[in-house]
C-alpha cells in the first residue's frame, strides 16, 4: 500500500486466483517462511536488460543527496535490478468493464476461504483482541483484509521488489515520479530492516508483505506490534495485525461504528437515489439529506455517528441488486483499496468469519 490504493488495478483476478490482487499484490506459490527476522521471501532474479544507465545515475545522485548514502552503494543496488516487461504489460493492460458484485464477491466467500480465515483468527485471537482494544478495529475486518490481500500470507508476490519498483521507476513514464519515490522508500526500508534490497519479493507494483503495503506506507503505518524492536510484515503476524489496524485508524476508522446498513426506500425515491450513483457508489452526504430524499438506513445503531454517509449498490444477480447506506468506516476501507467491490468483499467476508466462529463450539 501506497497510499495503498494509489497504484491499484481491479482485484477480480485475485478473487479468481489470478495475479492481480487488491493492493497491487501478485499471486505466487506459497513461500516457506524463513526464521523470524531473516530476509523476506527471497526471489530468484530473472535475466532481463538493466534500466537506462543515465536515468539510474541521476536517481542515484539525487537519492544520495537526500539520504546521505554513498552514490556508489545506490548504483550497486540498481545494477542488480532487472527490467521486467511483464510488469509494464500488467500496468498497461486495457481496462475492461468492471465486474458485478455477483461475479466478484463469491470467490472471497467460498467455504475454504472462510475456514482459512477462521483458522487464522483462532491462531491469533489474543493479538487481534489487543489490536481492537488499542485501535478500535474489529478482528473480523483485519482478518478479512489479510485474506483478500494475500490469503493470509500465502500469496505475497512473485517479483523481486527491487525489480518491480525499478522497472516502474525507470521504464513506466506515466507514473515514474511516484515509483521513484517508492523506490527510495524501499531502499531506505531495506537499510532499516537490515536486508539486501535484491532479496524481498513484492507484487508487480512493489507492494510488500502480508498486508501489501507500498514502501512509503510501510514506513508510515507499519508498527512493531510484537514489541521486539523490528517491524516485519513478512514474518511477524503480530506486526501485520497491528499495522493493518493502525492504517485504518490513521484513515479515521470510527470505533464501534458500522460499515454498511441496508437502505430502505420511500415510494418513488429510488430513481433519484440511483441517479446519485457513480460506478455503484455515491458521494457522501448528511444522513438528514438522504432521509429528505426518502432513503433511510434499516435498524441503525442508537449511537450512529453524525457523519456523512453514501449509497452503495451491489448487484446480487443480473436482474437484481441491493442498496446499502455506506457509513464512514466503509469509506475508510476504500482507502486501502478504492474499489467499492473490494470494500464490500471485506465487509461480507468479515461477516462470514464472525458467523462461522459463532457457529463453532469453543
- 323 pairs with which residues across the strands? 313
Distances (CA, A) of 19 to 27, 111, 149, 150, 240: 4, 21, 11, 11, 22
DSSP for 309-321, written as a single string: BEEEEEEEETTEE
The DSSP letter of residue 211 is T
Three-class secondary structure of residue 37 per DSSP:
coil
Residue among 149, 315, 348, 354 flagged as catalytic: 149
Three-class secondary structure of residue 267 per DSSP:
coil
Rounded Cα–Cα distance for residues 121 and 232 (Å): 19
Rounded Cα–Cα distance for residues 168 and 91 (Å): 9
The answer to whether 75 is a known catalytic residue is: no
The answer to whether the CB of 182 falls within 8 A of the CB of 216 is: yes
Rounded Cα–Cα distance for residues 146 and 284 (Å): 27
- 202 pairs with which residues across the strands? 159
Please give the grid coordinates belonging to residue 287: 444522513
Phi and psi of 296, rounded to 5°? -135, 145
CB half-sphere exposure, 62, CA atoms < 13 A: 11
Rounded Cα–Cα distance for residues 332 and 258 (Å): 11
Q: Which residues are catalytic?
A: 149
Amino acid at each position: 500500500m501506497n497510499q495503498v490504493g494509489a497504484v491499484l488495478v481491479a482485484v477480480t483476478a485475485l478473487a479468481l486466483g489470478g495475479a492481480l490482487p487488491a493492493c497491487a499484490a501478485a499471486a505466487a506459490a506459497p513461500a516457506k517462511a524463513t526464521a523470524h527476522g531473516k530476509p523476506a521471501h527471497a526471489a530468484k532474479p530473472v535475466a532481463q536488460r538493466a534500466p537506462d544507465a543515465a536515468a539510474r545515475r541521476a536517481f542515484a545522485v539525487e537519492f544520495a543527496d537526500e539520504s546521505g548514502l554513498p552514490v556508489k552503494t545506490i548504483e550497486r543496488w540498481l545494477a542488480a535490478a532487472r527490467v521486467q516487461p511483464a510488469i509494464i504489460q500488467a500496468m498497461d493492460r486495457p481496462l475492461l468493464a468492471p465486474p458485478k458484485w455477483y461475479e466478484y464477491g463469491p470467490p472471497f466467500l467460498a467455504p475454504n476461504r472462510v475456514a482459512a480465515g477462521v483458522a487464522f483468527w483462532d491462531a491469533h485471537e489474543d493479538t487481534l483482541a489487543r489490536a481492537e482494544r488499542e485501535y478500535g478495529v474489529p478482528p473480523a475486518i483485519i482478518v478479512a483484509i489479510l485474506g483478500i490481500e494475500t490469503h493470509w500470507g500465502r500469496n505475497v508476490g512473485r517479483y523481486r521488489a527491487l525489480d518491480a519498483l525499478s522497472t516502474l521507476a525507470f521504464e513506466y513514464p506515466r507514473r515514474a515520479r511516484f515509483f521513484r519515490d517508492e523506490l527510495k522508500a524501499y531502499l531506505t526500508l531495506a537499510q532499516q530492516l537490515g536486508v539486501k534490497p535484491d532479496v524481498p519479493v513484492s507484487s508487480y507494483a512493489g507492494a510488500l508483505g502480508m498486508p501489501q503495503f507500498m514502501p512509503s506506507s510501510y514506513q508510515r503505518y507499519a508498527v512493531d506490534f510484537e514489541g521486539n524492536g523490528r517491524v516485519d510484515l513478512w514474518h511477524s503476524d503480530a506486526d501485520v495485525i497491528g499495522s493493518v489496524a493502525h492504517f485504518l485508524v490513521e484513515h479515521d476508522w470510527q470505533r464501534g461504528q458500522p460499515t454498511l446498513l441496508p437502505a430502505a426506500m420511500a415510494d418513488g425515491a429510488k430513481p433519484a437515489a440511483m441517479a446519485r450513483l457513480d460506478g455503484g457508489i455515491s458521494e457522501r452526504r448528511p444522513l438528514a439529506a438522504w432521509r429528505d430524499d426518502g432513503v433511510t438506513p434499516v435498524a441503525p445503531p442508537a449511537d450512529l455517528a453524525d457523519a456523512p454517509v453514501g449509497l452503495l449498490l451491489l448487484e446480487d444477480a443480473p436482474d437484481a441488486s441491493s442498496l446499502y447506506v455506506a457509513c464512514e468506516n466503509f469509506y475508510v476501507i476504500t482507502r486501502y483499496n478504492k474499489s467499492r467491490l473490494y470494500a464490500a468483499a471485506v465487509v461480507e467476508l468479515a461477516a462470514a468469519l464472525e458467523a462461522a466462529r459463532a457457529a463453532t463450539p469453543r
